[in-house]
Structures are given as structure tokens and as C-alpha cells.
Chains A and B, each alone.
Chain A
Amino acid sequence: MGTTQQGGSQHGIARTSRARTEDEKLQELAKIEKYRQLEDQVRFHAAQNNYTPEVFQLTSKLLRLNPEYYTIWNVRRRLLISGLLSKPSAGSSPSTASFSTSPTATTTTSSDASSSSLSTATPPAPASPTAGRSGTTADEDGSQGQNKDFDILKSELGFTIPLLLESPKCYWIWSYRLWILRQAIQRLQTSVARRIWEEELGLASKMLTKDKRNFHAWGYRRHVVQQLESPELGGTSMAEPEFEYTTKMINADLSNFSAWHSRSKLIPRLLDERKADDEARKAFLDKELGLIRDALNVGPEDQSLWYYHHFLMLNLVSFVGHPTITPAFTQEDRVTYVLREIEGVKELLEDYDDKLIYEALLDYTLYLCQLEERQPEAGERADLVVWLRKLMVIDPMRSGRWTDMEKNYGLMERRLSMGDETVALVH
């Protein structure tokens, strides 16, 4: 590969510096010259509001060389709005075939007002086309316009793909892609727009297959799902399939914070949609606890698993003021479950020695005390001390924390003996 990328940094692609021969230096200077010319051309035409197909091609070239040049993405948007895409139906001239070089800057609901260094003297924009045209009022020009828009929007999505493959974390490309997708909602029939967004979900899945823990991709996925669920795309809740998706991702790789996190976020809605009664909720909790216990059984060193287990424990213990899985549990139920979980965690100590196990035992014992609104009993206190001592050996970097905790127990003992009952449990 002889090419060197010009322009700003390319995310994650290292710039290798190596000795260049005279020949290579000349070649590079030539490339830089070509790039500069291209850039000057585009900026010139943009400043003149020359929105022609030729200029559009120039932006394609420039963006391929430097996808991070966000001004040029904005120029491209303006090119689309000002002529390549059809005009909105309400009242304006349906001149879809030709397009003018004068600024007609119709307002869209996209958020690139920041880009305009021109077209301040625009005629008042006609009313934005309502989202999700149903097509019933479409005259021949209208449906032709939609077909054209469809082709252009699909083509634009395709344009971003090779750029994304090379620079998968470039915000500007993603931003443009999202803008195009929003255009789809506004300009195309609901069913057509919906299909495009469904394909987008497929893309998000593909990305997550390549990099299961890319939290940008998870965030993107959530956004896409949100759109698909929205009335604008005639959608309904996707809590079930998304929950199933997290199961799939977890099975592929247990160590997936984002998948476990997504899962936890979906649960309240899921249970509501299922209209789960108390029995169903209990069964659901049992299943989740079983799942995470199986996972911890093979991955006790994995923090993401412990986070999820904590999440489930907090469901049992800290249930005032927020939705929980089993709101109808009695105090007795909760205590039973917490005790059972503590026993389950202790079983791990038969074969494992990871510090996260001891930390969990500490936390859960304190949760139990919190739940029962009491201090640790003598037996529990003895256990706590043993676990703390163990942690001081395994995790000496945090000895300060462990010492603090032990002091607090020591403190509590002193205070208790002095009859102070308002001692808060220090975590």
C-alpha cells in the first residue's frame, strides 16, 4: 500500500513514519497538490452556492480522501436539499427534473443549522413535509419524487459504507448517515422508510458481531431501535427481540458489559409488556439469577457478570422508589433470596479464589443486614473479617479501602457496646 492519507487523524489508524525516498516525497507532494486543488474547488463552489451535480461529485472525491472534513459533509447536505432531492409537496413547484443554482434552502428537521455560512437571505421555507408521507395525496410527480429520493438516499447510504469500513469511529460519517435516515422518514412512505431502518438495524448487528463490546455501536443500536419503535415508522415495542438479542450476545461472549447493561434496561418494560403477574415475575427473576449464577460459575473473574448479579441483588434489596422485578415480594421472600445467593457465591470458593467473590460476599452480607435493618451478627462479623483479611492479601493495592472497612466494623463494635443505635452501615 503506497498511499498516505492526507488531512487530519484517522481514528485508530497509525501513521507510520518511515524514511521516504526522494521519489516518494515528490509523489506525496503531487498528491497533496491534487488534494488542495480539490478542496479549493469545492469551497469555491460552495461559497458561490453553485449546487451542481459536478460539485456533488467533487464532494464525493474529497470526502473519500478525508471523511473528517465536516464542512464538506454539510456542503453535500445542502447539495441534496437544494436540488438533488425532490421538493416538499405542499404548494411549491414540483421541478424535480432540473434544479436551480440559486439557494432554495428548504428547511428540514435536520440539525445542521450550524453549517450555514451562506443562504441567510432565503425565502421563507414552505411547511416541512409531515413525517411519513402516506402517499395518498401523491400526484404523479410526488411518487416520482419519492422514487428519486429513495434512490438518492440509498445511494448516499451506500456512499458512507466504504468510508465507515475504513474509519468506523468517525462521528461525521455516522452523523451524515443518521441525517440521511431521518430524511428517509420525512420523504418516503412509512413502509419504505421502515425497511431502510430495519436494514440499519442489521448493520448495527453486523458491527456488534465484529466488535461485541463497542459501546458506540450499542448506543447506535438503541437509537435505531427507538426509531423503529416510533409511530413515525409505524412501530411497536421491540423489547422482546432486543432482550433476545442480548441473550445471543451474552452467549457469544459472557464478558459483555454493554449486553448485560442493555438487558437490565429492558427488563422493566419487558415485564410490563408481558403483563407479568407476581408469579411470572418471580419465575423471571429465578431464571435471571440462574443464568448469571451459571455465568459466574465459569467466569468469577469477570466484573461485568458481577455487575449484573449486583443489579439483581439490588432489585431485591433496594426496592423503594424504583421499578423492580418483584415488587410483591415480602420481606421474608427477599431475605430468603439474598441468603440463597450468598450461599451460591460461597460455593464458588470451593474452586475459585478471585477477589470479586470476596467483595461480593462482603457487599451481600451488608445488604442482608440493611434489609433486616440490623447490624451484622457475631458469626457474620467473623466472616466479614476473614474475607477482608483475604482481600488485603489478594488485593493489596486497595488495602486502604479494606482497612477502612475493617475499622468501621471495629468502630461499630465499639459504638454498639456504647449503646449507640444510630450507627449507619458503612459500605
Chain B
Amino acid sequence: MDKIHSHRQVAAIKHSLFDQGYLDEQFIQLEELQDDANPNFVEEIVTLYYRDSSRLISNLDHTLERNPLDFNKLDTLMHQFKGSSSSIGAKRVKAECTLFREYCRARNGEGCRRSFQQMKKEYATLRKKLETYFQLARQAGPLETAYRPK
């Protein structure tokens, strides 16, 4: 009973993550890669993503503090960040990255900073939600991988 309930909870969280646009199809791809040999594959990947993206975010922070702004470098950094984020299916974060890059190309420093702040917010939100999700999923036990919200 509890197990079913927890699974349902996990499913609900996942569903909402998709509905709200935090995650996209790529996340499902990752889940499909998960198997008995790698039961926590998705979580491992996401953890790896956090680590790498923290580094990129702090790099971006530093670069944004410079004056004048090095738009090329910002664009390059953000390109990397966008690539990682899209690999795990972080939809909203990815959208902010795209916006940021457009500001970079337009040499709009203010736009970049604004977009970056927004991106950080999305990133933090996603991270929190995913942490909750994984925690529950672990507690519920293996069962959720095949679920496709859409």
C-alpha cells in the first residue's frame, strides 16, 4: 500500500515536472537507459550534471563581473552549459540559456545579466525538484522507469 502510494507520488512529481516544462523528452531517454545493471543511472547523470554545471555557473558569474563584458567567452560558456542541460532534459534551463546567448550576440550586457539570474533560478528550482523526486523514487523502490508522462 505504502509502496504503491509512494510510487504514485513519484509518478505525480514526475508528471508535474513534465507538465510544467521543467523536463523534456530527453529525460525519458535517460530513464530508458536505466536498467538493472545501472538502477540509478539517471540520478548519477543528474548528479554529474550538478557538479559540472556548478563549475560553469561560477565561471559565468565571474565572467559577468568583468568590465567590459567578454561576450564571446560568455557565449562559449553558456553554450557548454546549454549542451549539458539539454542532455539531461532540463527544458526551462535550456530555454534560458538560449535567451542568454541571444543577448550575448546582441552584445546586450544587461540582458545577459538578467537572463543569467533567471537561468540560475530555474536551475535551482529544477535541482530541488529533482532531488525530491529521486529521493522519493529511491524510497519507493524500482518501478518508475517506464512511466511516460506524456
State whether these chains interact. Answer: no
